A and B are shown apart, each in its own frame.
Chain A
Amino acid sequence: MMALAHQLQRRAATLSRPARRACVSVCAKVSKKEGEPRVIRGKCYVTKDNIDTDQIIPAEYLTLVPSKPDEYEKLGSYALIGLPDDLYPTRYVKEGQMKTEYPIIIGGQNFGCGSSREHAPVALGAAGAKVCVSESYARIFFRNCIATGELYPCETSVRLCDELQTGSEVTVDMDNNILTDHSTGKTYSLQSIGEAGPVIDAGGIFEYARNQGMIKTA
């Protein structure tokens, strides 16, 4: 529990584990096994600054209750559907599909601003997003990503949203804090995910607390 809040200060020791290429199949909730590298490779989807929760999951879909499995899946199909069509001609989730082709989301500043709705990180995770790499996050969204374990909210001081293109294959290596753009070969520095990492690995705050023996199983 202390670990979670410590990450909120966004300073943590760098983890060092051997990096191995790994392709992650797109499925809901991260739930990484202990010992596996925290590395995600796949196509990236690029967004800009101030992507607010109404763009991530418009309010009309909030009647879906995330704790109900079938409605959880449906939420995923609507992830990022609020993005304006003229700026984002490529949809995050193709029409008629339930899952995305893009496990990696790139953002600018203040990603996730607006509402406290947990439906926002949940919709992204349910769609198959694994990690978001942005310059900065809004407070409640950041906290919700960790509490739900749906998405690693990775930070970077590089303006990746101006460098990368939607559809490019990238690798996000959170063990060595490097993002590689396979279309150009360029690498970029990431900030360490720190203590938030293990919480999201476990699948969220409650799972983490149970694994650590902080709370008894229900």
Chain B
Amino acid sequence: MALQATMHAPCTASRVARRAMKVSAAAAAPSARTPSATGAVKRAMTMTEKILANRSGNTSVQPGDNIWTRVDKLLTHDVCGPGTFGIFQKEFGPNAKVWDNERVVLIPDHYIFTNDARANRNVDILREMAQKYNIKYFYDITDRSDFRANPDYKGVCHVALAQEGHCKPGEVLFGTDSHTCNAGAFGQFATGVGNTDAGFILGTGKLLIKVPPTMRFVMEGEMPEYLLAKDLILQVIGEISVAGATYKAMEFSGSAIEGMNMDERMTICNMVVEAGGKNGVIAPDQTTFDYVRARTQEAFEPVYSDPDASYVADYRWDVSKLEPLVAAPHSPDNRKTARECSDVKIDRVYIGSCTGGKTEDFLSAAKLFYRAKRQVKVPTFLVPATQKVWADVYTMPVPGCDGKTAAEIFEEAGCTTPAAPSCAACLGGPRDTFARMNEPEVCVSTTNRNFPGRMGHKEGQVYLASPFTAAASALKGFVCDPREYM
């Protein structure tokens, strides 16, 4: 069967310089030879298919197959953990044990630094569960007045998971959070599920899922100095829409991806769910291995897509031609260039979350502030995702900034003091959450969703952006293309 390639000429009305070549790949023709007498015929598979084949005990799987997969790790947090254990206890009985007490990771992160009694109770419930079921990995917090007084506490679950060495190539991870897909950056199958599915996993260590077909996104070329991973994923979501990848795997490759560090790769896979995607994957390489080996000595087996594997869609971009973007209110696919929103006056900036609160995100923001040598015009809230990120902000010299740390640069620029690590205002939360939008304001944010009410107030307007764009906007007082300060 022939490949059909449809060239989409760039829309003349749009000044977004995109060259998206959409290729419809047909499945390979079935082999003419008879099956070998010794076993099943192997078909070319994508990474996602291979991981699921491996974990379901199959030689080969194809998209659409319903399979029982073994689970390497189950992640939950303070919002969904209590409900998940509630279901586990109800369904498997009060004397049941979890399938493997070393494969469950409990990470309180959502509603931590609040006086909300129920939120605080939920962390207590997690602690009870950790003790009752002898859960090895529980990153507890007991002293809410000083996050540093809690040696076990980490912060945002997806970033903590990576930093603690729980993300490994070739593995299967489920989490009670939509941004579990973040871990796909490590070349594993990672996706979000609800409490009931998670309760089932707690008891059995398995889940019944359907193998997703894979869409491929190739990013080639050298990243311009004003462009970050966030701009690339906003480009993709804007291209295919919030339901463009529903039930599908999104595979990212190309020289631009290969040149990224793990933080940047995570930013891309993190927002796969915003396009409706089931999971995101990036092939593991030396960058991945170095990161993982620095954090765990456990064995892992990387897998790679076969060269002749089938993809249901193919997209290709030359990143050198892309521009800084925002997702305007009220949808992650409401893609505009930062440039064309330069007349939008803003009230605040937020830099934080699993999507945009990692070390690399703060280094980027700091670099732009340092070059600009100016003060911010609006309140600029900084929430490092984890204790480790917070420490990096205060101790790591920002490259090319005369030995200054990000914290020093942020202070000179007039930003608010970096706050206690947690999910904080990314999803609003209890009323007293740090940086929650309690009035209808306009905010540029490095977070992941901007549906109505996402950061608190129903009439709040959130522009999703990269750390560069967020920093530039803070300096300007308007949505601002970072090139203005570079």
Contacting pair A9 B83 (CB below 8 A): no
When the two chains form the complex, which single residue of A59, A65, A138 contacts B82, counting CB atoms closer than 8 Å? A65
Is B421 an interface residue, CB under 8 A from the partner?
no
A136 to chain B, nearest CB (A): 7
Residues of A within 8 A of B92 (CB): 218
Q: A140-B192, A140-B194 are in contact. Are A116 and B243 (CB under 8 A)?
A: no
Interface on chain A toward B: helix, strand, loop, or mixed SS?
Answer: loop
B137 within 8 A of A: no
A82 to B96, alpha carbons, bound, how many Å? Answer: 38
Q: How far is the CA of A115 from the CA of B426 in the complex (A)?
A: 12
Residue in A55, A63, A115 whose CB lies within 8 Å of B119: A63
Q: Closest B residue to A147 by CB, please name it.
A: B196
B116 at the interface (CB under 8 A from A): yes
Which residues does chain A contribute within 8 Å of B192, judged by CB atoms? 115-116, 140
Q: Please measure, in the bound complex, the distance between the C-alpha atom of A1 and the C-alpha atom of B175, giving whole angstroms.
A: 20
**A50 contacts B by Cβ under 8 Å:** yes
Does B452 sit within 8 A of A, measured CB to CB? yes
Q: When A64-B118, A65-B86, A136-B246 are in contact, do A55 and B195 touch as well, CB less than 8 Å?
A: no
Q: Which residues of B contact A140 (CB under 8 A)?
A: 178, 192-194
Q: A5-B66, A60-B429 are in contact. Are A205 and B196 (CB under 8 A)?
A: yes
Bound-state CA distance A136–B178 (Å) is 18
Contact in complex: A148, B453 (CB < 8 Å): no
Contact across chains for A67 and B90 when beta carbons are under 8 A apart: yes
Contact with A along B140-181 (1 / 0, CB 8 A): 000000000000000000000000000000000001111010
- Give the complex CA separation of A58 and B210 in angstroms: 29
* Residue with the highest number of chain B CB atoms closer than 10 Å, among A66, A110, A115, A138: A115
Query: Does B482 interact with chain A (Cβ within 8 Å)?
Result: no
Q: How far is the CB of A218 from chain B (nearest CB, A)?
A: 4
Chain B residue, CB-CB nearest to A217: B93
Q: How far is the CB of B118 from chain A (nearest CB, A)?
A: 4
A68 adjacent to chain B (CB < 8 Å): yes
Q: Give the CA-CA distance A64 to B80 in the complex, in Å.
A: 10
Evaluate contact between B428 and A144: CB separation under 8 angstroms. Answer: no
B110 at the interface (CB under 8 A from A): yes
| A177 within 8 Å of B (CB atoms) | no
Docked pose: A1 CA to B82 CA in angstroms: 25
Our pick among A9, A63, A115 for the contact of B111 (Cβ within 8 Å) is: A63
Contact flags (1/0) for A185-218 with B, using CB distance below 8 Å?
A: 0000000000000000000111000000001001
A109 within 8 A of B: yes
Instruction: Give every chain B residue within 8 A of A8 (Cβ-Cβ).
Output: 66, 210, 247
- Which residues of the partner chain B approach A4 to less than 8 Å between Cβ atoms? 208
Set of chain A residues within 8 Å of B196, measured between Cβ atoms = 118, 144, 147-148, 204-206
Check if A138 sits within 8 Å of B208, measured CB to CB: no
Bound form: Cα–Cα A138–B453 in Å? 19
Asked whether B246 lies within 8 Å of A138 as measured between CB atoms, the reply is: yes
Name A62's closest neighbour in chain B (CB-CB): B79
Cα A62 to Cα B178 with chains together (Å): 14
CB <8 Å contact, B193 and A62: no
Say yes or no: A50 contacts B118, CB within 8 Å: no
Query: Cβ of B93 and Cβ of A143 under 8 Å apart?
Result: no
B278 contacts which of A82, A83, A139 (Cβ < 8 Å)? A139
Q: How far is the CA of A80 from the CA of B224 in the complex (A)?
A: 43
CA distance in complex: A185, B129 (Å):
54
- Which B residues lie within 8 Å of A66 (CB)? 83, 86, 195
Whether A63 lies near B116 (C-beta < 8 A) is: yes
Contact: B194 with A147, CB < 8 Å? Answer: yes
A67-B82, A82-B452, A117-B194 given; A136·B430 CB < 8 A = no
Tell me if A85 counts as interface (CB < 8 A to partner B): yes
A6 interface residue per 8 A CB criterion:
yes
Nearest residue in B to A82 (C-beta to C-beta)? B453
A2 is an interface residue with CB less than 8 A from chain B: yes
Between B175, B194, B243, the greatest number of chain A beta carbons within 10 A of the residue's beta carbon is seen for B194
Contact indicator A113/B243 (Cβ below 8 Å):
yes
**CB proximity of A207 to chain B, nearest CB, Å:** 9
Closest to B79 in A: A62
Contact A55 B247 (CB under 8 A): no
B122 beta carbon closer than 8 Å to chain A: yes
> Given the interface contacts A5-B209, A59-B428, A62-B79, does A109 sit within 8 Å of B451 by beta carbon?
no
The contact sample of 10 A-B pairs, CB cut-off 8 A, is: A5-B208, A54-B449, A66-B195, A116-B178, A118-B176, A136-B246, A138-B246, A204-B196, A218-B93, A218-B94
Q: A9-B64, A50-B243, A84-B458 are in contact. List 14 more A-B contacts (CB 8 A).
A: A54-B451, A55-B452, A63-B119, A65-B83, A65-B125, A68-B86, A83-B452, A110-B276, A113-B242, A138-B246, A139-B246, A144-B196, A206-B91, A218-B93
